Chains A and B, each alone.
Chain A
Amino acid sequence: MNKIIIILLLASTFLVGQEFKVEKVTGKVLLQKGVEENFTIIKKGDFLSGNDLVLTEKNSFIQLQKEGNLFILNSNSALGLSYIRKISINDLLLALAMEDIRNVPKKNSKGIEKNTAVYGEKIKNSSTNVLSENRLGKMKINGAKQLAQSGFAESAIIVSKDTFRKYPETKLNFEDRIYFAELLEKLNLKNETLDEYNSIRKLPLTKLQKQLVDKRVETISIKRINE
């Protein structure tokens, strides 16, 4: 009977997909499960799923263990645990290609005209408080950089792209943008690197920053021609 209970417990552990074990926690580290809205505090010995998001507040860190491998997330960082994995170059290219699919196609003038009436009374000059989105975005970029430093450059690029899109303030940070563009360059993805530098060019840059980007674009373009 005890054996059956143990087997059931092991099976249930496997089924809920607890992939990461919390080895060490310092300070305030929060957990957001799947698509839940609320956050909970993580304690040492907890098991975390690949769908979870981990946030480390100021002066805190967390050490996770999965299949004997350790991963440390330092303070002021946020990371979806599903990204702590090796992604192939092919999958990275597919993920980058998803950018185009996200766009809503150009409107076709044919067909029934859409009703654009708005029902309900509009409230003008609303002073609803919007929470600062930039902080979470910045934390995610920090998390992505730590992914890259741990050898998951492909995952880090995907996280950065997602973060730049969802937290638009983050994509204005020149250093961060250059950091991830260089990651692409290191992976020898010349076309994607050029696209990224061209996107950075459109930011409000200083003269020096602009020169730096132009030089990088020129270097990669020459390399591409010589191939």
Chain B
Amino acid sequence: MFRKSLLKIFLLIQIFALQTSAQQSLDIYGGFSKLMRPKYRVNSFEGNTMNFNRTIDWEFGFSGAVILSKKRANSIQLASVGKRIGDHYLYARYTPGFKKSFALNTDTLVTIDDSINVLNSSLNYSELFGAGYSCQFSNSFTAGVTLRYFEQSYSQENVYFYFSDTVNTLVTNLDYWNKKQWRGDIGFTYQPYSNLLFSVSSSNLLILNESGGFVDNTNLELKTTKDAIIGIEYNPFNNIFLFGNYETSSSFLVGANYSINLLGGKLGLGMSMFHDKYQTPYITGFQPAINFSSKILSVSVSAIYYTHKRSNVMEIENLLTDGIHSITNNQFSYSKIVASINLSLNFKRKQNIKFLDVEIENQIFPILSEEYIGNPFAYGKIINLSENSIVVKPSSYVSNINNDVINSPSVTVAPMDTALIPFYTVISRDLEKFSNREIGQAHFYITSIYNENDDELQKPILINGLNSWNSEVKNLRYFVRYNFSESNKYSKSILNSKKLLLKNIDEKLLPFKQIEILFNSFVKKMQYVADPRSSTEYVQFPTETIKIKGGDCDDLSVAFSSMLESIGIETAFVDYKLEDKISHVNLLVNTKLKPSEAQLITTNDKKYFVRKSSVEIEEIWIPIEMTLLTNFNAAWKVGAEKFNTEAIEGLGLVKGNVAIYNVY
């Protein structure tokens, strides 16, 4: 005998309901702005579909929740692992607490052998695990994808009758349906300014059903409405951060954070409120949160408070009409407290300083080796990624010119600031070995606290041959000094041949006469030859000019200067800068005569220039045109005329059109 009463299901008993997020973008960690530049994961896939993260290396996360229902329940929510590899970030999470189960009580009664049985049904939803990948394409742009795996099942007890010739049987059977599916989403963040960030991400973009379905009860399956989530975050003041997410299904979330430095770490406070289209009232709930992060771990406690009170037993009507859109935040979710701990394990050292670029200012001219000690050959643009001022130690190594790494002076860089740092070098290779032009590799290093390099960068650099010159007249002095002893021998041999003449010269006039004798002897053998390679880039050494008996104005000036300097007569190069930027070079030579003795050598005061020596003695210097290879008097006259007109009367010396560079 049995009595069957088939009624509609009218009650739903929620026996277990845990959640991580309201609407789609409510976050288990409490909602913290990405602009706070957290070093830990402070939001999960729900609030961060693009998987945006600033973790340095490994990060392990664990979350637990206390459900604030009448029947308190505790649950492990999430265990996760993340790893950064350069600009790429990988994340995986196991989510045992992301599930929701319903026991469905019907009014169907079955009496079998005097016992009355109620036919029950159950409904289970769970998100088992997920994985994410993101790539930081630039300082301002990040893109990422997430993939999550869901399972859902529905079981229902039914009564079946079996008829035969002898006996009729009544049996209760449990029918079972399940569905497994993958959900994939994408997201992007764009940060045009340090205090402004935009994000856009999808919800349920890609649905891949692995198996099954609820057949006649598809309305009980998880809803997979496609949505876009648009976010904006703004940092108007130092420690205040505002953020908001809008979902195209008309749900939204807005919140604010306040952050302060505390006990060597950072304390963040947050408050957000949210509206879920499928829940009432309009402001569905609030989410206060607190987070403290230190060097190795981050602890968050967040609460989700629903403004509409939930009870253990609820009517099923809106389950049948609206369905479940989110396992973790729906019309049957309870208020709760979620505690999370994230542990950071940095097996690689944190990068404090980063190169933005290095600009090589100059090619390497081996003959100018002394110049590189005082003048940088390259400048590096760097950024301090840390929140503290850092002393940066730059160093460089240029293959083919350095035997070891060359350290440059340290520079202090303010937090999050950029700086231009100079790189100096020393030419340690033998100069004779620089016979031809070659391309070398310049390695640039920056180091902050530790001895390891924070960053390094490599750039090709042109290393010129030994005769190459950078067209700066002041640098001709390095050619003068090269092989000085040979110039000395040459001058000495000429002066020795005029010993008798010099014997009868007034002591005061001796340097002047030596200049005259050396010039006349030198030019007699010389021929002016324009440099076929490029007169501004190739300079002969004095020995070469003497040997090949010719050269252009640079070569002849360098050779004659070297001859005079080698016997103790001071010289200086006069650089006449022409409009086409090609210089003409003359020599100024110190006669050692005092102005009161000028009439010993000339009656015309335009032919000399009075200079005060480093020991405050005024001395007569004479300009000599080195391309006039006739005789000393003619070269002096032409040199004086040019110097007087352009340097003195034309004020070239003060206007910058004419410059004097002492050889020593």
Contacts and interface: CB of A to CB of B under 8 A. Distances in A.
Contacts of B368: none
A124 B481 CA distance: 32
Interface in B196-246: none
A114 B664 contact: yes
B495 A98 contact: no
Given A115-B567, A133-B596, A98 B481 contact: no
A165 B495 CA distance: 32
B610 A95 contact: no
B635 to A, nearest CB: 12
B492 A119 contact: yes
Nearest to A127: B506
B68 interface: no
A98 B653 CA distance: 7
A136 B608 CA distance: 15
Contact of B610 (A32, A105, A166): A166
Contact of B506 (A98, A105, A123): A123
Contact of B606 (A34, A98, A106): A34
Interface string A161-194: 0000111110000000000000000000000000
Contacts of B481: 111-112
Interface in B468-502: 481, 484, 488, 491-492, 495-496, 498-499, 502
A120 B503 contact: yes
B507 interface: yes
B543 interface: no
Given A82-B649, A95-B654, A104-B612, A131 B507 contact: no
A119 B614 contact: no
A130 interface: yes
Contacts of A122: 507, 510
B509 interface: yes
Interface string B591-602: 000111111101
A226 interface: no
A177 B509 CA distance: 31
A101 B507 contact: no
Contacts of A167: 595-596, 605
Contacts of A105: 614, 662
A227 interface: no
B640 interface: yes
A165 B618 contact: yes
A136 B610 CA distance: 17
A123 B505 contact: yes
A3 interface: no
Contacts of A38: 603
Interface string A97-122: 11001111111101110111111111
B488 A115 contact: yes
A95 B651 contact: yes
Contacts of B572: 104
Most buried by A among B510, B606, B618, B644: B606
B277 interface: no
A165 B595 contact: yes
Contacts of B608: 166
Given A128-B509, A130-B597, A168-B596, A117 B614 contact: no
DSSP class of B's interface residues: helix, strand, loop or mixed?
Answer: helix
Contact of A101 (B514, B566, B603, B654): B654
Contact of B604 (A35, A95, A111, A131): A35
Nearest to B605: A166
Interface residues of A, number: 49
Nearest to A128: B506
A37 interface: yes
Given A114-B664, A166-B605, A124 B491 contact: no
A14 B606 CA distance: 24
Nearest to A134: B596
Nearest to A93: B654
A46 B291 CA distance: 99
B114 to A, nearest CB: 116
B651 A91 contact: yes
Contacts of A115: 484, 488, 565-568
A69 interface: no
B508 A117 contact: no
Contact of A120 (B502, B598, B599, B637): B502
B655 interface: yes
B495 A120 contact: yes
Interface of A: 32, 34-39, 51, 53, 80, 82, 91, 94-95, 97-98, 101-108, 110-112, 114-124, 126, 128, 130-131, 133, 136, 165-169
22 contacts: A35-B606, A35-B637, A35-B641, A38-B603, A53-B606, A91-B651, A94-B654, A102-B653, A103-B612, A104-B570, A104-B662, A108-B664, A111-B481, A118-B510, A119-B496, A120-B510, A121-B502, A123-B505, A166-B610, A167-B596, A167-B605, A169-B596
